[in-house]
Structure 1
């Protein structure tokens, strides 16, 4: 093999190993995608990124489930999540509720692409694609949490605190439902919490309403129902916390209270968080029962005394069986038979003496 042949063979061998490596590098570069966007403060809360609105630096953005993917925004509010394979990702923007001032995501569906209740956006990336415009807009929180309504539901009738409230006592043994409603008014979403406070003498049986809740405490001390949603709720929604109760003891005028509790954002007006309605309970009346159970003795006649417990005194001596025959009629018939027998005996003795 001459020198020219050896050089040609070496070049071919080098190409055999080098070209696949270069192809692999090019393929890897082509496969890398990215998600990019800008974080800004939506000064007027309209969901649009407009000239002059501040950009937010050092704000953290990343991919849910990929801890190493999180980055901070640059001085101009921009970020990029690089090196992504084709697929669908959940991008998460940092929660700014505990910042000063407290901030929340602006309305979604316009320039801000992040859903407010979870601070996330679902993004699909093609092979080698850079998806841009995944922006997040924030507003300074302006929020009011308040109680809306307190309702008593007896099935056939309902009483509402702001319309017509119950004006007669409930009775021991009675069951009815209590509902309280709360809302968030403002410019961003928040966690929604509420409580129902029950007076001593009402026993919680089961929770009701759309808000997940539990109850605690003892009926003789006054129970509480605690409700909370796991995620954040949009402003303007009205949600209900409820409980079915049984009256277990009488009580004088006592309060049923519904409380709306502040979430992660400051509450601008805590004075409207509570509604209170007062009710009373009395013992159930004792009524006669046809089966011979406990009865309430009627009042004794004037000048007489009724035996305790409405007991009828037992007659002395043996008792006659009840044959259904009128006893007065029986006595009359018996007397007639005795007189007839005596007459027959006198007549027989008279004839014997004559003979």
Structure 2
């Protein structure tokens, strides 16, 4: 067995969740998904596909109909994006791993901005890359980027820069000016940029296109830019495992070869559901975003009212990332909260060492009262 695989750390989020799974008395907010079911008309599209007997392989790059819908959907928000730049994947995680496999050789230097979802630093390590992290810094609960530190870290020796914004877990989001500076710098150094933008629609600031700033808004079609998207968050489709990549057209054919050696293709009935989700996005995503904003605005003031809590409302994503004064071991704290308070949160050190004293609370709850109940449990536990 490869040593790098043996050295991989197990998910600390799972470590906490495993301690509480199956317990009906635990309010679980540890995973990054809503507890709302996928809309009926999306589910029905998959059922109809299965009833038609669509149980066979599809094109490596995805159904032509779905790739067309993705290109249209992305072009509406970010300017012209051709079908020849789109590949359908079996989830956002698969999209990220495919990008790593195509771009990272053993020994390559990879820079990542942290705290971040652990897959984004584990995946290049699996490929043998040397991962160098640039940490965001919290100021009164708001995580910010030291742009000079990032640009100094990305040199001619850097093969790939990985950025997740809006960010899981902090909610940090890049500005348009910051994206332009980063892109210009990567052009000078010849560095590839992998942008995980799966939370772009889950953005709570007013924008003309209803999205967080995207690198696609400022990049040329042939820039060394790969953007990852997923149906999971914005369409309430986490379990469907369907995502996509946008890349330079010169890369797409080779991505198809790589998909063949990974999953061959996404399942057809799942892709049919994706087609309908995109065609009727205005019936899903705006309501999802409005409800998540309600959840955020319910949870954050309650947390801010607790003495010793440091937290700020996230501009994007679906998480409250907060610090409890006096509880510096987040993993131990999260485990205690499960056992002693019936409250399931994710430990900050799952996302980076610099977030060891922080906790992540996914506020994507169908019933905002669950968030109120969760805060009550946290208060009662702290009072003890």
Normalising by structure 1, report the TM-score.
Answer: 0.25
Larger radius of gyration: 1
Instruction: Report which of the two has the higher share of helix.
Output: 2
Normalising by structure 2, report the TM-score.
Answer: 0.24
